[in-house]
Amino acid sequence: MSKKVKVLIIGAAFSGDLHMDGYSRCRDIAEVVAICDKDLSRVKALAERYGLKDYAAYDDYKKAIDEVDCDVVDICLPNFLHHDVAVYAFKKGRHVISEKPLATTVEDAEDMVNAAKAAGKKLYYAEDWVMAPAINKALQFVEEGAIGKPLYIRARECHSGSHSPFAQTIKYCGGGCMVHLGIHPIAFVLGLKNNKWTELVAMTSGGGENNLLHRKMEGEDWSACIIRFEDGTFALLEANYVTVGGMEDVIDIYGDKGCMHIDLTFSSPIKCFSIPGLSYTVEKAEITTGWSRPAVDEKFNLGYVNEIRHFMECILKDEDAMVGLRGIDGYEALKVANLIYKSAREGIRIVNEKK
């Protein structure tokens, strides 16, 4: 393999921009050689935004994978498309990076993991929380014993709702807010505990007419889960689409000698009052007038930049990613998300028989 990892990005919209920003900050070890999107104007706009000059543009992912000399295919597409693109890329001998959630069904996620093994290639799972600087700094303090023995974690991702048509239906998304947003806290706590959980119980708003606010959405707009781990500790995981004012990514860790609160999205050194409004404050903020705490480097703070560099370093060494960023971790997170739905739907406690 060459000194730089050659990357083919599939998808030039929201997630494509997040990943492209990461590649733009590790040009020493990564080179985006091609971008594919069914809308070529998005490809051009993404490339221009990051000053990309020498690249190939495609509007068909199979043609792109067939023709582009690349080491890894980075899938930045709606959830329901992850599986087919990944399996095709593995058949063509490429490593794969997949955005969250890994797939819309557990069966498709398992198929992706197996396809990677059959091809002798790596499946990397793009869970940005695992590489968020604030989280890792907090975990360093935990390791130092700053709050004693960790006993309980509360983690949530919430905002006012996605307007993407793919997030409105279960077929395209895989569920509601828990699989779309809650997959972050799920993967985070599972990564901390090496996927060793024993039982869980959950509730959701139910979807459709049962939702708190988004009654035209098939999936739920509120969901929460209590999960217990092999070491006897607990976590409360929440996701919802009823939070206004910008996205909330909040983690609380409680120990027997202290506690810690981590705010990924609103931890800004800037506090601004604006009558006309700022051009941007934080993801999903409905307004930017009045008092706000605008994000300084949102993509870095949320972990995307470190995540991309980690994947590039792993590919150069032909190694798997750290726990939490492997394909198997994405598979385990999706399994738990689906068991959360089962628990809520049937009103039962789920016991992990494979613990």
Q: What's the confidence (pLDDT) of residue 163?
A: 81
Q: How far is CA 328 from CA 117, 175, 334, in A?
A: 11, 20, 10
What mean pLDDT do residues 70-79 have?
A: 98
Q: 144 and 67, same structural domain?
A: no
Give the number of domains in the chain.
2
Q: What is the CATH number of the domain that holds 340?
A: 3.30.360.10
Q: 198 and 290, same structural domain?
A: yes
pTM for the model stands at 0.96
Q: What's the confidence (pLDDT) of residue 1?
A: 47
Q: 146 and 223, same structural domain?
A: yes
Q: 285 and 247, same structural domain?
A: yes
Percent of the chain exceeding pLDDT 70 equals 99
Q: 269 and 120, same structural domain?
A: no
Q: What is the DSSP letter of 326?
A: B
Q: 310 and 297, same structural domain?
A: no
What mean pLDDT do residues 199-227 have?
A: 98
Rounded-to-integer distance, Cα 108 and Cα 199, Å = 24
Q: 223 and 189, same structural domain?
A: yes
Rounded-to-integer distance, Cα 271 and Cα 273, Å = 7
Q: Write down the mean pLDDT value for the chain.
A: 97
Say if CB 7 and CB 23 are below 8 A apart: yes
Nearest to 170 by CA among 209, 220, 218, 208: 218
What mean pLDDT do residues 333-353 have?
A: 97
The pairing of strands 95-99 and 222-229 is unpaired
Q: 89 and 38, same structural domain?
A: yes
Band (pLDDT 50/70/90 cuts) for residue 354 is confident
Q: What is the CATH number of the domain that holds 320?
A: 3.40.50.720
Q: 79 and 31, same structural domain?
A: yes
Q: What phi, psi does 335 have (nearest 5°)? A: -60, -45
Percent of the chain exceeding pLDDT 90 equals 97
Q: What's the confidence (pLDDT) of residue 267?
A: 84
The region, left, alpha or beta by phi > 0 then psi within -120 to 50, assigned to residue 293 is: beta
92 by Cβ neighbours in 10 Å (0-12 / 13-18 / 19+) ranks as middle
- Asked if residue 152 has pLDDT above 70, the reply is yes
Q: 138 and 31, same structural domain?
A: no
Query: What is the domain extent for residue 226?
Result: 130-302+334-351
Q: 223 and 101, same structural domain?
A: no
pLDDT by residue (tens digit) across 299-341? 999 999 999 999 999 999 999 999 999 999 999 999 999 999 9
What mean pLDDT do residues 129-133 have?
A: 98
Name 170's Cβ contacts closer than 8 Å, sequence gap at least 6.
104, 176, 207, 218, 219
Q: 122 and 138, same structural domain?
A: no
Q: What's the confidence (pLDDT) of residue 326?
A: 98
Q: What's the confidence (pLDDT) of residue 289?
A: 98
Q: What's the confidence (pLDDT) of residue 2?
A: 56
